Amino acid sequence: MSIDYSPNKTSLTVKEHVKSNTNSASDLVHLDPWEKLKQYTDSRIALGRVGCSVPTKPLLKFQLDHAEAKDAVLQDLNVDSLVVKLSEHCRSSIVELDLELFAESSDQTNRQDDQMNDSLEILRVTSQAQDKSEYLKRPDWGRLLSMESAKQLEIFGKDKSYDVAIVMGDGLSARAISENAPKLVAELISLFNDKGWTIAPLVIATGSRVALGDEVAERLHAKMLVMLIGERPGLSSPDSLGIYYTWDAQSSSHDAMRNCISNVRSAGLPTRVAASRLLALMEKSYELKLSGVELKDEQELPVLDQGQTTIKLL
């Protein structure tokens, strides 16, 4: 190919060459045969390609999702905002119990108890992880109550007992708790009240791992523990909340003694469905006096037609 560089023809000749040899951006992108499957999943599939590279749009989307997941891990839980949201969704006035007052004076305890008949009671506790850096580097500290919280809960729970304790922990996504916990807690409180179960004061735990709830339930003398915690963010789910249920939780409890319902969020498992599944588990647990691997989620078991031929996937 040659280009005429004469003063009057250079511009026209070059423009014609560019126009004839450059396709539009949409023509450059080679679509994947699985493109239609994208409507059924948030998984990163059928991205297409431009040459040997990923197209610009899915590349930018990946970078955004990665940034949101990172922010979810590093973000601190805004406890005051969470308390306000709980009040709005539960349609109840909030009474924040000061554990230090209970530790200092039994008279103060009795005085406050008389004022809490129709209010939503909330306790704040912390783990042994003092900040986000310690929380990420020392998972074991996130599983243990701070010495102050442990002592104060011990005093508060003396001579008390409850059927259910609900603990909200920031975990690896404070955003998950902030966005999903208020609606879920409102659903659970309504269901538990219908069952006639006594509910311990709600507990908000910062710097927490799943096992932190065991210590809380043990000190509150609660038969059943419902631990709500922010799950490890995926690249399409920075707001996913997990529910961990344990019967007769103790500080010595381990993972095999827990049942888990995960991916509770607006784009995942709806809060109402999650609450219904949890209640079914708890009713069976109350009957059998156990939880964990021996307690099956019967709502997940498919109804099989015994007359149908079994299909082998592998």
Look up residue 217 and give its two tokens.
């339930």
231 annotated binding-site participant: yes
210 annotated binding-site participant: yes
- DSSP string computed for the chain: ------TTTHHHHHHHHHHHH---HHHH-B--TTGGGGGG--SS----BBTTB--HHHHHHHHHHHHHHHHHHHPPP-HHHHHHHHHHHHTS-EEE--HHHHHH-HHHHHHHHTT-SSSEEEEEEEBS--SHHHHHH-HHHHTSB-HHHHHHHHHHTTT--EEEEEEEE-TT-HHHHHHHHHHHHHHHHHHHHHHT--BPPEEEEES--TTHHHHHHHHHTEEEEEEEEEPPPBTTBTT-EEEEEEES--TT--GGGEEEEEEESTTSB-HHHHHHHHHHHHHHHHHHT--STTS--GGGS----TTSPPPP--
**Which is it for the CA torsion 285, 290, 296, 297, positive or negative?**
positive
* Nearest residue to 203 (alpha-carbon basis) of 220, 223, 186: 220
Look up residue 273 and give its two tokens.
């469905």
Q: Tell how far CA 124 is from the center of its chain.
A: 19
Residue positions in the annotated binding site? 210, 231, 260
Residue positions in the annotated binding site for adenosylcob(III)alamin? 210, 231, 260
